[in-house]
Chains A and B, each alone.
Chain A
């Protein structure tokens, strides 16, 4: 179907139509898919790699791989399930490569925090105190997520952050549904335990 005939803005088109357009060489359609899923893929990749720089690189690599293999995408499955699977496999490959290569020194996260660098908060807010509290809470929650073992973290991210059904997670991770359920539950329990002092006040 030629997009010229649909006369609809790209952001209003469903994934499957955008995929079809992208397969026909419409770069703008693929760019719309990228902007739709960029944050989601980055969240998964960052959750697995825990490095901003690596996550940025790998997020792009995921979209490049997906674009290069778009012709192989079968439309009988959902685009994002396919994309998430590429992301998960890319993370596994990356960590395998990383294990072989020497670890570069990173100036991210706690190291930057220790020497006084804080991420810039560009949001406009009327209540700076509340914003600071929110920022602190977000930091704690992300730390709690990062502290989980890899398998639990990925299951929690896919289910509780990305909102994927457990069946789809099982398909993405290529493991039984029971395993996914158990990982989500254990991950949640660990996060609850870590956040318990804050949860009592909420």
Chain B
């Protein structure tokens, strides 16, 4: 049962609260609250509302990287002019993210920390080659996002750590990233599958390819076979077909309430083709 509620305004205070142990972090609360109400998740003794912590908002270019504050809301991702210009794939993902109310409250850091295999920002972040910055009272470390998730709802974050920032390499000329998700209902649905593809497109050829899938494995995953099928290739019909086939072959989804394994593989095949066609068009 919750005994203490803290709303620190500085990072140090927040980290100190986490260091004391048995704390639950709340930012937007859009996952923590319904899950704890439904009994799927037990709140710690201390509720730490990090919403007022300064300096963890918005996006900015820092050297060769773009820093995205963990408290950036999904609505900000969707509306921020800098993000729309530099990382449009995130704005696109935010546009398909839950409802307006949830976008207003939910944060980028929260979506990462929640580690849902269907988390809508995670696939785009994977193809953007994102790195997660974690801070604790003991210090700071950075983990590659594709090594950060360990299972549904599970990550390498230790209980005293806070996700503070996300860094992605600043896009190079010719960089294109696209994302598509599919659920049964056109709006407000949790993905049955999602696909992200990024790379540098030059003279019709694609290189530095990154492919990622959502909701086909215990965590969002990179699509190494599809990447190999695409790397350095001309984006023609044969390449699209080969990449789609490679993608379909490499995913090992399960059947659950949202879709069967067969349908998910079928959809990965079709969505990879669809997203690649978008990438080819720039």
**B is bound to A:** no
B contact set with A: CB distance below 8 Å:
none
A contact set with B: CB distance below 8 Å:
none
